[in-house]
C-alpha cells in the first residue's frame, strides 16, 4: 500500500514532503483497518479537482465493529487499544480532506485526499 501511494503521489507531482505525508496517512489507516476493523480494503485513486489540481485519494473500508464514539476517536492521544492514539487524528492532520463514515456493528470507511501545491 505504501509503495502504491508513493507512486501515485509522485505521478501527481507532489513534493517529497507531501508524498511522505500521504504515505504516512495511508500507513496509519491501513493499520487501523487491520487491527481495529479485522481487515478490509484499501484503494488508491488519482484525482483531479474542478480547478485542474491533481491529488491522491485513499479509501479504507472494513466491516469491523465500527466506532462508537467518533469524537473521542479523533482526539490525538486517545486509544482504544495499545497504540499511541495517532491513527485517525494523525491521518486527518496529514491530509487536505478527511471523511469518516462508521456504523457500530457494520464497519468504517475513511477517505482522505491530498492535493498538489
Q: What is the pLDDT of residue 75?
A: 84
Q: What is the pLDDT of residue 49?
A: 86
pTM as predicted: 0.90
Question: Rounded to whole angstroms, how far apart are CA atoms 91 and 20?
Answer: 12
Q: What is the pLDDT of residue 84?
A: 45
Q: With 70 as the cut, is the pLDDT of residue 99 above it? A: yes
64 contacts 31 by C-beta, under 8 angstroms: no
pLDDT digits (tens, 9 = 90+) for 47-94: 988 788 999 999 999 999 999 989 888 887 656 655 544 689 999 999
99 contacts 111 by C-beta, under 8 angstroms: yes
Amino acid at each position: 500500500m505504501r509503495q502504491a501511494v508513493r507512486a501515485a503521489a509522485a505521478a501527481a507531482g507532489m513534493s517529497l514532503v507531501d508524498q511522505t505525508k500521504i504515505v504516512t496517512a495511508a500507513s496509519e489507516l491501513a493499520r487501523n483497518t487491520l487491527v481495529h476493523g479485522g481487515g478490509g480494503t484499501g484503494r488508491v485513486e488519482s484525482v483531479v479537482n474542478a480547478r485542474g489540481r491533481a491529488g491522491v485519494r485513499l479509501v479504507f473500508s472494513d466491516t469491523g465493529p465500527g466506532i462508537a464514539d467518533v469524537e473521542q476517536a479523533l482526539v490525538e492521544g486517545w486509544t482504544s487499544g495499545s497504540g499511541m492514539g495517532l491513527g485517525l487524528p494523525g491521518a486527518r492532520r496529514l491530509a487536505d480532506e478527511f471523511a469518516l463514515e462508521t456504523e457500530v456493528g457494520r464497519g468504517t470507511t475513511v477517505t482522505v485526499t491530498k492535493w498538489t501545491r
